[in-house]
Structure 1
Amino acid sequence: MALLDSLEAANPLRATAAAAADMYGFCSIETFASTSGLRYTHEDAQGFHDYVAQFTTPNFWFKDQNVTPWVWDKNYDNYQDQFGFDASCVSYHSGHGDMDRNTGVYRAPMGAAWNGADWIYSDAMRLGDNNARYLFFSTCLSLRVHDGMTPVKTWHGANGGFRMLFGFETESIDDPNYGKYFWEEWNKNKAFSKAWMDASWRIDRHQAPSVMACGATDVEARNRLDNERQFDRTAATPSFYTWRWFDPEPRGARRSPNAELPDRLAVARLHAPAPVERGALGERFGLSTRSASLDAHVSVGEDGFWEARLAHPAEPGADPGVRTVRLAAERAVERYGLADAVDLVFDEVRYEHVASAGTDGSGTEAQVREAVVTFRQVVNGIPVTSPGYGEVRVRVDSGGTVTSVSDTSRPVAELIERSRADAGPDLESADGVENAVDAAVRRRVRSVTGEANDAETVAGSAEVGYDLSGSYADVVASRTVRVDCGEGLVKRYRVQVPVTA
């Protein structure tokens, strides 16, 4: 984190903006009128709310049955100049979401009915002709970019002047941390779009966050997408759209998920997070040690995790090739000693893409912005599997240049052996562990839908590994599943079962 001169330095509202009124509005739904509920949407919105509430009081926060279609209705979305999704500069919604595979219309269920309806549809909205400039739809499928879908197709008709929209190409995990992590990433001197993308990947790398920006020209839209990091009340002219997203699938060969227990069952005691001296980190990567430069290029968290930005990505271009980016990343791991204190294994390569389109039909095909090469920490012969921990990520741009490195590994102090009997008779074998996860999945499905059904496993997500989120790392078995919530809606959940706890 940067050392701030004052609290106002952490305020995301542009200093030249008018008074702080009408800045933020929130909606979150866990109990729906006509479909299965969710567990963490209030916490999701809370994380975003609590950060911005330091600077100004939000206009509203509607929850559950108080979230009805009038909030998005173009005749009422700025009701009394205070309430509704177009009443605030920044509007945040967390709940269910879906998109019609043919028309590209986004739809979402509400907490209660209004005028006989309890769903909203993007083709009935008009957002931005009042106050809305930044729209966060923390729901599944709110910003699709594949299968013939584009932000222009879904959102241009609803755009009365908003500047950016944040969502997902895929189904998303029901998780409490999207809003909280967004501001943690933003405070690492990242643009809004990158903060949203990186926050979402801290939760689950099998989902694909996406962000769009618009402007009067393609250059303006691209600049907004890449660089905007302060909220601006100025309405956008939505003539051109640019969007970025992470690929939901890895490229090339990836590490095979581990299904086996370690030969020696043990709990790992972790070293306490060691202070990371930013100046030394800057010198390690050949960055200027001047404070202003380090603020722009090096961020360090209280947990000792860090990120160093080494170069601005080249202009998006053609696929540089998986072999090229992997070799560049492996050389960076060796050059900077990233495996000196921990064991690392190559995990996967995923691409971040960018594309653009004008409302006149012009545009560019998807281009590679960066490749993200992930190396995973290995403890006691098996990988770390807890999201956001035990990873070294190296970003490589379309020209093959390493642009940034981040490290969330935790060195191990000692392994404390456990006998197989300590795990219990049902967890002594890989088959027993898999059965335990199956049972946990059924319990989770029952908690969401009321029925103890099985759920589809997201490809590549089932694994046995270590959870590094505490002071001690336990062996766990985890799996991400797709839960059918009814009415054509699906939500993802990550299910984890402890083996050595």
Structure 2
Amino acid sequence: MKIIYSKKGSKLPFEERSRSLREDQPYSGDYWGAFSLEWYARAFPLWNTHNDAQGWVDYATQFNPVNFWLKDWNVRAWAYYEDYDNWKDTYGMDAVNAVYHSGHGGIDAQGVFRTPMGRDWGDLGTTVYSDKMQLGNEQVNYIFWSTCYSCRISEGHTPIRTWGSANKGFRMLFGYESTSVDSPNYGKYFWEEWNKGKPLSTAFCDASWRIHQGQSPAVVACGSDKDEAKNRLYTEREFHWEHVSTDYWYWRWYTADDNTRDPNYTFPKDMMIAELQPVEVDEQYVRSVVDSCNIEMKLPGEVAATREGIFSLKEGDIRAAFGENGEFEVKMAKPNLSNTEQISLRKARSLADKAVKEYSLDKEVGLTFDRVRLEGEGGGTKDEREREGPYMTGTTVQFKQVINSLPVLTPGAGEVTVSVDNDGVVTGVHASTRFIDKLTDRPKNTIAPPLDEGFLCRPRAEDMAGCRELLKKEWEKMVALWKARGKAPEKYAAVPGFTEIGYDIQGNEAVLAARQVMEVDFGDGYHKLYWVVTPLLG
């Protein structure tokens, strides 16, 4: 099997557009558009939204030019409301088939979503509201809200309640039930997951889970009835041009179960770093994964891969995907989504433990149980007279790699997951573990000066109290940067369960580090999460 690496993406994400549709768009391509805000007229600044949108735009524009990418002060209310949301057949939320917005997001008790703007315009103010939008009556079919609280499904909220009046024909909306991390990687990771052969909704949710496993991504799809909406939600993989009925809505989301590993507060006996073995993904490696997972799959003569080395193989309902550093994911069976009686966590854990051994997922690596992810779904008619769910239809058991007796802390790395449906069928496995070449006391980026006595690797803290002090100092640096921008938040706190000591994977090295998640309350209902990381050897 020959792997052909391309500087361009391996797959075009759009269906072929008909001649009649092409003739309706004389001024611009109308494929893509994006908004991102780090500076606001009245809200606190963010750090990573431009890079977030950049990752989404970079892949998209390999195939078709973007209509627009408006940032900061150029993002104003006119682009979100009916009169100008397709201005000059080029600019605005309804001017393109797929649109991406990265920034702050909030929601009120009545389910109205809001997001702040970069500058005032006319008499529309500096905040836009979901109940004043009318989207999908011109171009847009896919709306990505890379913000907090943009697609809530709990505490009395539903996507219908928030977006029902705004939807005039769009097919799908992507957002968050919860607060989310201010990260530069959502857009980039979305396309990486999509290139593994996944439907749009799965790619979005899996990309989010790689960033933080305490946030809850959510996606909703629409159709004329339940079957159409649900099928679109779980299978739509390309961006389509035709608008759809909004009579029925169906949604899905990821959420973490309370059953999680206790955080690690202990140091290893020996203060070492780990040198990791590089992995060459070739025909031999692919065949070894296929064989170890006991799947029947004929390898093609050649396969197209992205510049990052991501590609997927498919045979019937079986899909195998491969990424950097030997990461792989195998979908073995379709989950039975019609069984809505949730499997017990005890049974799911037992099936996962068995699968780890059966498929050699712990070969040459140590693993420890980490957490459980639940996959929920629900739906209903637009008038909300009929409601489905919420149901939990999938359970994913996650294990973390252990290095030098400590867990890997890096989200999306050093992980093994096993997914099961409510029938007790193992539907898929995923592994991003790394083989260890050796443990060494010779660090790459820090060293004790010559003639100093003691180890080359020296701990910057002796206990958890010392680690918390280092994390506090790292956080104070971020707060100082806000102050330098003229405005610093005053309310923030560490998120329980996400402060611990372990190994952080950086390229082909795993270094001892402490990590925590901070939640910031910016006021006016706007929140964000931030990862804080500090090395423990110096």
Alignment TM-score > 0.5, same fold: yes
* Alignment correspondent of 1:10: 11
2:150 and 2:4 mapped to 1: Cα distance? 35
> What is the CA–CA distance in structure 2 between the aligned matches of 1:468 and 1:68, rounded to whole Å?
40
CA–CA separation in structure 1 for the residues paired with 2:277 and 2:147: 37
Output the CA distance in 1 between the equivalents of 2:475 and 2:98: 36
Once the two structures are TM-superposed, the CA of residue 259 in structure 1 deviates from its matched residue by 1.4
1:431 equivalent to 2:465? Answer: yes
- Change in 2 beyond 3 A, CA 1:40/1:2: farther
Q: CA deviation at 1:16?
A: 4.5
Partner of 2:351: 328
State the distance in 1 between where 2:431 and 2:472 align.
32
Distance in structure 1 (CA, Å) of the matches to 2:273 and 2:441: 6
What amino acid maps onto 1:460 in structure 2? G
Residue equivalent to 1:295 = 314
Correspondence list, 1:78-227, <5 A:
78-100=86-108, 102-116=109-123, 117-227=125-235
User: What is the rounded CA distance, in whole Å, between the counterparts of 1:423 and 1:33 in structure 2?
Assistant: 47
Greater CA deviation, 300-309 or 156-165? 300-309
Q: Is the 8 A contact 2:460 2:536 kept in 1?
A: no
Q: Distance in 1 between matches of 2:491 and 2:526?
A: 16
Q: Is the 8 A contact 2:491 2:521 kept in 1?
A: no
Q: Deviations over 1:422-480 (max 9, x none)?
A: 66675232211111111212222333464485721122111111011322211110001
Partner of 2:425: 401
RMSD of Structure 2 on Structure 1 (CA) = 2.1
Q: Is the 8 A contact 1:214 1:221 kept in 2?
A: yes
Name the counterpart of 1:371: 395
Deviation sequence 1:2-45 (CA, Å, 0-9, x none): 96799686000002554481111110001111011011111101
Q: Which residue of 1 aligns with 2:474?
A: 440
Alignment counterpart, residue 271 of structure 1, candidates 266, 277, 281: 277
Moved more, 87-96 or 426-435: 426-435
Deviates more, 1:449-458 or 1:475-484: 449-458
Question: How far does residue 104 in structure 1 lie from its aligned partner after superposition?
Answer: 0.2
Q: Does 1:311 align with 2:319?
A: no
Range with greater deviation from structure 2 (454-463 or 180-189): 454-463
Q: Which amino acid aligns with 2:531?
A: R
Q: Is 2:75 aligned against 1:67?
A: yes
Q: Is the 8 A contact 2:342 2:393 kept in 1?
A: no
* 2:61 counterpart residue number: 53
Length-normalised TM-score, structure 2? 0.89
- Contact 2:335–2:427, Cα closer than 8 Å, also in 1: yes
SS in 2 for 1:464: strand
Q: What SS class does the counterpart of residue 167 from structure 1 fall into?
A: strand
Give the residue type in structure 2 aligned to 1:278: V
Match of 2:38 among 30, 40, 52: 30
Indicate the SS of the match to 2:90: coil
Aligned-pair CA distance for 1:284: 2.2
Q: CA deviation at 1:347?
A: 0.9
The one-letter amino acid paired with 1:112 is R
Distance 1:446 1:136 in 2: 31
In the alignment, the residues of structure 1 paired with residue 258 and residue 3 of structure 2 have an alpha-carbon distance, to the nearest angstrom, of: 38
Q: Which is further off, 81-90 or 308-317?
A: 308-317
Q: C-alpha distance in 1, partners of 2:358/2:245? A: 46
Partner of 1:111: helix, strand, or coil? Answer: coil
Structure 1 letter corresponding to 2:335: P
Q: 1:498 aligned to 2:538?
A: no
Quote the offset at 1:160 in angstroms: 0.7
2:415 to 374, 378, 391: 391
Gaps of 5+ in 2: 23-27, 301-311, 443-447, 449-453
Report SS of the residue matched to 1:59: strand
Deviation track 1:265-288 (CA, whole Å, cap 9, x = no partner) reads 111111112435223322222222
Is the Cα–Cα contact under 8 Å of residues 445 and 455 in structure 1 kept in the other structure? no
CA distance in 2, matches of 1:446, 1:141: 27
Once structures 1 and 2 are overlaid, which stretch shifts more, 111-120 or 321-330? 111-120
C-alpha distance in 2, partners of 1:336/1:241?
Answer: 38
Compare 25-34 and 483-492 and name the one that shifted more: 483-492
Retained in 2: the 8 A contact 1:124–1:158?
yes
**Please, which moves more after superposition, 374-383 or 286-295?**
286-295
Q: What is the distance in 1 between the residues matched to 2:144 and 2:298?
A: 36
CA contact (8 A) 2:117 2:128 kept: yes
User: Of 358, 366, 369, which aligns to 1:343?
Assistant: 366
- AA in 2 matched with 1:13: F
Query: 1:331-384, CA deviations, whole angstroms, 9 ceiling, x for partnerless residues?
Result: 000111111210001111121101111123102111122101001000011100
The AA in structure 2 aligned to 1:74 is E
Could you tell me which amino acid in structure 2 is paired with residue 161 of structure 1? G
**SS of residue matched to 1:364:** strand
User: For the Cα contact (< 8 Å) 2:491–2:522, is it kept in 1?
Assistant: no
Query: Deviation string for 1:213-249 (max 9, x for gaps)?
Result: 01011100000000000000100100111100011x3
Q: Unpaired runs of 5+ in structure 1?
A: none
**Structure-1-length-normalised TM-score:** 0.95
Matched letter for residue 122 of structure 1: S
Deviations, residues 167-194 of structure 1 (Å, cap 9, x unaligned)? 0010110111101100000001000000
Bigger drift between 355-364 and 102-111 goes to 355-364
The verdict on how the C-alpha distance between 1:136 and 1:393 changes in structure 2, with shifts beyond 3 A counting, is same
Same amino acid, percent of matched pairs: 38
**Cα distance in 2 for residues equivalent to 1:244 and 1:2:** 37
Tell me the number of residue pairs that the alignment of Structure 1 and Structure 2 aligns.
498
